Chain A
Amino acid sequence: MRLNDCDPGFKHEVAAEPGGEGIRACFACAACSARCPVGANRPDYDPRRLIRLTLLGRRDEVLSSPLIWLCSSCYTCGEVCPQQVRFTEVLTAIKNIAAREGHAPPSAKITAELLAKQGRLLEVTDFENDKRADLGLPPVEQRPGDFQAILGLKPAEGEAGEEPR
């Protein structure tokens, strides 16, 4: 590794992103790596390593890595972290930067399309609503508007929107 290939500003960029500020506190203690369920199945997925690469400024390597999209957002790393780094949020910050630079994997695009269409990942069908009706529960509506606004497909709704169900 050459120092010239490292971007010393990358850690500050991540820390400036919402959720990314926790990276400043990491001790590199590896408690997160010991407990991460994704790492337990993928030898190359290691939260401590992703943090070290980010702190070292390996910007391109981190942002283009397919590994950053593997996190299951289970928050176990945050539970065991002595430093309240909240790695799940740090990784979200890193993924946001990566997505802006066109590194989002195809699965993320499919997820976005589903959310824009359905307002949730699983489509709500008559099957679910019939079951709910049997139990005396009101039907679930698909309200994709919020996601369309987040994804920039339409302007944001006012505060006075219908209560989500």
Chain B
Amino acid sequence: MTNAQLDTPVLILGGGVAGLAAAVDLARRGVAATIIEREPRLGGRASQFCCKATEACARCGACRLGELLVQAAHLPQITIYTAALAVAAQPQGDGWRVELSPQPGGEIGPGPGRPLRERTTLNTQAVILAVGGEAFNPAGKTRFGHGRVDGVFSALELEAMLSQGALGPDGLAPAKVAFIQCVGSRDASLGRLWCSRVCCGYALRMGRVIRKLLPESQVTFFHMDVQDYGRAWEDELPELRKQMRFVRAMPGEVTAGDGRPEVTYALAGEQAIKEGFDLVVLSVGLGPPNGASALGELFGAAKDSDGFLTTDGGPAGVFVAGAAAGPRSLNESMVHGGLAASQAASRVASLTEARHG
């Protein structure tokens, strides 16, 4: 049986915000693109995120996914396949010849795109790798108790709990919440030296949402320092410091106390103490994509010293966008998608010119 054939100027792997933003940007430039998403649904991580507005929008970027999905659905230059995986790739002429394989679980959903039904061979002039990064698995930091101590959650789990309304007056009503920052980031003992850049912002914003939902609750923010997480972040801090307790110390461990997790930490000039919380949230960082080496093998994509994919030093016609290239916020990932789109567009333009000129 021969494969179905498909030609596209630009192939985008990954339908998170970076891949979608790249496709929309290309369409605006009049360049057609095909998005291949591994999962049955588009959206990537942002589809799990809660709105972090309190009195005003917190500029967390989560709702921009919705705008992107609407645009992607309406722009005729964009083709989307979900539940599809690139399984082989080879340079062919000026571009790439990519084998796509359908993945289980693909159903036609409400969003744009339809599942890939058969093995397909796709010819393209440029590839954008927008496969996102992996969130740190907090079980790797054993002493913080994730998976062992009841009441300890990763920030990803909290995002989902908040977006599903599991926390609040009608759901779980924790009185004391602790955020532990830099879990799986800035940690030489894990070989993860980078700052993940998004976790200070999401933790403070989710802390503020919890205070709004449950005004009686107390939120403690265990951190080393607060990183720049977006526009006007410094102006927000004085108000955030009033709403939450900022503790400048990394806890030594989280243990199972009397029915709830206990956090051991030391304040400057004071002896270490154990304090009980109802909810301990581990602010997990962003790391290189899990399949980085697989994609490296498929497309010969280059990696930086931390293992993130990079356009520099990689093969011609392969561009990287979003969190796959390093920790980035949603807004930054969209801008980065736009950058990869402009690079891919100029490649397509110069190849077309060469062919016709």
Contact = CB atoms under 8 A, between A and B. Distances in A.
A36 B249 CA distance: 14
Query: Which 7 pairs across A and B sit closest by C-beta, in order of nearness?
Result: A34-B252, A33-B266, A35-B252, A30-B249, A29-B250, A82-B187, A31-B250
Contacts of A43: 270-271
A55 to B, nearest CB: 14
B187 A31 contact: no
Contacts of B251: 31, 34
A46 B266 contact: yes
B224 A27 contact: yes
A81 B268 CA distance: 17
A45 to B, nearest CB: 9
Given A43-B270, A49-B269, A80-B252, A34 B186 contact: no
Given A35-B252, A80-B143, A82-B182, A30 B268 contact: yes
A27 B248 CA distance: 11
Interface string A31-70: 1111110011001001011000000000000000000000
B22 to A, nearest CB: 35
A84 interface: yes
B148 to A, nearest CB: 16
**What is the predominant secondary structure among interface residues of chain B facing chain A?**
loop
A35 B253 contact: yes
Nearest to A82: B187
Interface in B262-278: 264-272
B189 interface: yes
A43 B271 CA distance: 5
Contacts of A34: 249-253, 264-266, 272
Contacts of B250: 29-31, 34, 82
Nearest to B266: A33
27 contacts: A29-B250, A30-B248, A30-B268, A31-B249, A31-B250, A31-B251, A33-B249, A34-B251, A34-B253, A34-B265, A35-B264, A39-B266, A39-B271, A40-B271, A43-B271, A46-B266, A48-B266, A48-B268, A49-B268, A80-B143, A81-B189, A82-B182, A82-B186, A82-B188, A82-B189, A82-B250, A84-B189
